[in-house]
Structure 1
Amino acid sequence: MRDFLPADKARRERVLAVIRERYRSHGFDEIETPVMEDHARLHAGIGGDNEKLAYNVLKRGLDADAVRAAADDPAALTDLGLRYDLTVPLARFYASNRAELPAVFRSVQIAPVWRAERPQKGRYRQFMQCDIDIIGDASTRAEVELITATLDTLDALGLQGGSVRINDRRLLDAMLEYFGFPEAERPGVLITIDKLDKIGPDGVAAELRQRSSSPAAVDAFAGFLARERPAGAGFDEARIRAALPEGLDGDAVAALSEIGDAVAAARGARVPLEFDPFLVRGMGYYTGTIFEVAHPSVSYSLGGGGRYDGMIGRFLGQQVPAVGFSIGFERIVDLVADHAGDAREAVVLVHDQDVPVAQLAALKAAFVARGCRVRLERRPKNLKPLLDRATADGYSHFAAVRAGMDADSLELKPLG
């Protein structure tokens, strides 16, 4: 968990303002949910490994005997917890407020979440998530809207050239069945396949041989990994089929092809999509399309998401289609070039010690009324450190203020 100095905070807020504006322009409406949810909801088996990282809140009023009696049962000690993502709160929010929401609800959530991570570079215990979700639309239109809104937002942040790796959990299940992995083994097999980028085909095959009780299935999968990949770029039905085991077909292929055609229509000739038959994404609640956004400037993904049609039904008692896309704000904010800053003129008024407070208040009010950002500073013996700090904080001009001066008599001088 980190502190942010004024310049860092201002930078983050500028990036957030762009993200909010782009999402709003694509028809998404922002909501807010509490930072805490019920313990049972956060540990309902839909949050994957993130559930293990949840911060739980101790029940109020427990005495020492009650704590000792429940020491082996966390659920008996806690009734609330800090949210570890924004998807579980959204599902609860929709179930609670459905009557007041449109049939197809396009949601934006931008808020901090908490996970008990082991502190290290790039992993924080409190961090910002930026989620867009569409609830109530089972068609591929929802995926297309999410993908185009996300890529448009990256463009607006100056990160042009982004692309989306895309797959479908139904195709993954069909592949594992094709190779002969028993259904009970498939969740563990997917965990290993998800390491393909880190440990390579040989490492995946070796780990599968240790994990799986089906040597023939592992051999078949290893042989598929070793095959020659289709050459060339592009995203269409023929290329999708060519990347899959021969004869593997189904509605998922047609859906991916339809998404590709629609994104091409929105984005122009180059389709910024790449079919990756081994893209897994670790969250167990995904039921269909899954995706990750990539950028050529970095080797890691800048966000991801997918369809989770089964989650809201756990809270509502009836199935509701849902799909979401989250961009990694903490990763993106470090990549965005900080060109614009605050567009307003920013002025530091450096005043002598004998200038009356009333005069300073009037001067400041005059500049604020002109649309300026204004800071009052008493003149020190050495002016340079003060001006350097003002420049670092985004101020563009300064003026020396003496007793009796008004706003029109001040001489503004540029900083930096």
Structure 2
Amino acid sequence: MASVNAPRGMRDFLPADKARRERVLAVIRERYRAHGFDEIETPVMEEHARLHAGIGGDNEKLAFNVLRRGLDADAIRAAADEPSALTDLGLRYDLTVPLARFYATNRGDLPAVFRSIQIAPVWRAERPQKGRYRQFMQCDIDIIGDASARAEAELIVASLDTLAALSLEGATVRINDRRALDAMLDVFGFPPEQRPGVLITIDKLDKIGPAGVSAELRERGASAAAVDAFEAFLERPAEGEPLAYGERQIRAALPDGVPDEVVAHLTGVGESVAAARPGDTRVPLEFDPFLVRGMGYYTGTIFELAHPDVGYSLGGGGRYDGMIGRFLGQDVPAVGFSIGFERIVDLVSLQVADAAPAVVLVHDRDVAVTELIALKARLVAEGSRVRLEQRTKNLKGLLDRASADGFTAFATVSAGATREGLELKPLA
């Protein structure tokens, strides 16, 4: 007999859980739209070649692929050593690759600067564990067609506003630039062929510390002189006092030799975010010269969303100016920010009750169906959410269940009851 459990790494949601998730999603959508973004929808599947074009980083290895239709046993055996010959489609592992394809397909119908919302599930063949699922929701906003710091600032301001609307004030955004990282590695003397592996190790800095990173770099066979230079940079004297986010702070955190235009872009992001928060002396940005983010398609600014209540990122994103060009043959500037929905939904304390009344009508067994349906229709027409429940011996259990499902009031219904005679009582 087949298992009745959901597939590993995937979940069922009971009504109360679903209502809570939808309430959080409604707030996210409303805040995103308030900042001028428009929601789109893309298919859950994309072509295999597109999902495995070398732009999805490690996520490409986690893609669920779809077997070609009509393959017989001989065709499967003949293609056993070449997975791409067995599959032509795959489930999307993020929303950025589908967005790039969407823009390339529909750009004639889109504005010059396009601000998109995508809120949808994605699938990755992860090893299931706490907080890591094979199907999960992503909430993305992206701006395509704007190469200026304004785009990053709009994304950051919208994302911080959304968290504040979810009562998660106090969030900050760690920010860096992949161009600054590349310039740093060049200054230290890491040859280009070593840099992908070096970045993987540097990304562990907050977990294993400077000594651990240096040791791992040497184990990887990285240039000894470059590792020495990197160590010396980490051991340089710290600034005498913390600096606010700005050009001085950014330059102090970087070695000499990082291009001025990179520093200017990062500074412009901070100035624009600050302009959106008049009267706030603290800009919620933190420059982190060793923030890496692993996606291979990032070309410029990268950022992660942090909150003091948790020790992990609540979202992130970056600029991916080269991705759309793979479909169009010409580069189009693009930058995106994704909120980690599955991570924040359990932190949010929003009430899931509907704004409209939600009423349970508890009726006796002998009440005619026609009377019940007519009474329910009357309440629904008034704007209420209504559920019919036959009275049980354990009335408290029935009402507790209704309350857990988001209902706020109840009334008992006997034969001949009228709308005017209903006494609505709160479910507390």
Query: Deviations 1:23-70 (Å, cap 9, x if unpaired)?
Result: 111111100000000000000000000000000000000111111111
CA distance in 2: counterparts of 1:303 and 1:61, whole angstroms: 41
Instruction: Indicate if the aligned counterparts of 2:121 and 2:137 stay in contact, CA closer than 8 A.
Output: yes
How does 1:14-413 map onto structure 2 within 5 Å? 14-230=23-239, 231-268=241-278, 269-339=281-351, 341-413=353-425
How many residue pairs were aligned? 416
Instruction: Indicate if the aligned counterparts of 1:37 and 1:83 stay in contact, CA closer than 8 A.
Output: yes
Deviates more, 1:315-324 or 1:223-232: 223-232
**Helix, strand or coil at the partner of 1:143:** helix
CA distance in 1: counterparts of 2:318 and 2:329, whole angstroms: 22
Deviation at 1:392, TM superposition (A): 1.0
Instruction: Indicate if the aligned counterparts of 1:163 and 1:293 stay in contact, CA closer than 8 A.
Output: yes
Deviation at 1:248, TM superposition (A): 3.6
- 4+ residue segments displaced more than 3 Å: 246-249
CA distance in 1: counterparts of 2:353 and 2:393, whole angstroms: 29
Deviates more, 1:37-46 or 1:362-371: 362-371
CA distance in 1: counterparts of 2:382 and 2:143, whole angstroms: 42
Query: Deviations 1:77-96 (Å, cap 9, x if unpaired)?
Result: 00000000000000000001
Deviation at 1:395, TM superposition (A): 1.3
CA distance in 2: counterparts of 1:244 and 1:220, whole angstroms: 13
Q: Report the AA paired with residue 241 of structure 1.
A: R
Query: Deviations 1:297-336 (Å, cap 9, x if unpaired)?
Result: 1111111011100000000111111111111000111111
Q: Report the AA paired with residue 392 of structure 1.
A: A
Query: Deviations 1:263-315 (Å, cap 9, x if unpaired)?
Result: 11102332111000000000111111111111111111111011100000000
CA distance in 1: counterparts of 2:376 and 2:345, whole angstroms: 32
Q: Report the AA paired with residue 159 of structure 1.
A: L
Query: Deviations 1:205-253 (Å, cap 9, x if unpaired)?
Result: 1110011341110111122122233331410101111111135442100
CA distance in 1: counterparts of 2:12 and 2:243, whole angstroms: 44
Q: 1:37 to 1:48 in 2, by over 3 A?
A: same
| Cα RMSD for the two superposed structures | 1.0
CA distance in 2: counterparts of 1:67 and 1:19, whole angstroms: 45
User: Identity over the aligned pairs, expressed in percent?
Assistant: 77
Instruction: Indicate if the aligned counterparts of 1:229 and 1:243 stay in contact, CA closer than 8 A.
Output: no
Instruction: Indicate if the aligned counterparts of 2:410 and 2:427 stay in contact, CA closer than 8 A.
Output: yes
CA distance in 1: counterparts of 2:157 and 2:112, whole angstroms: 21
CA distance in 1: counterparts of 2:257 and 2:409, whole angstroms: 69
Deviation at 1:338, TM superposition (A): 2.5
Q: Report the AA paired with residue 411 of structure 1.
A: E
Deviation at 1:347, TM superposition (A): 1.0
Normalising by structure 2, report the TM-score. 0.96
Q: Report the AA paired with residue 232 of structure 1.
A: P
**Helix, strand or coil at the partner of 1:367:** helix
**Helix, strand or coil at the partner of 1:109:** strand
Normalising by structure 1, report the TM-score. 0.98
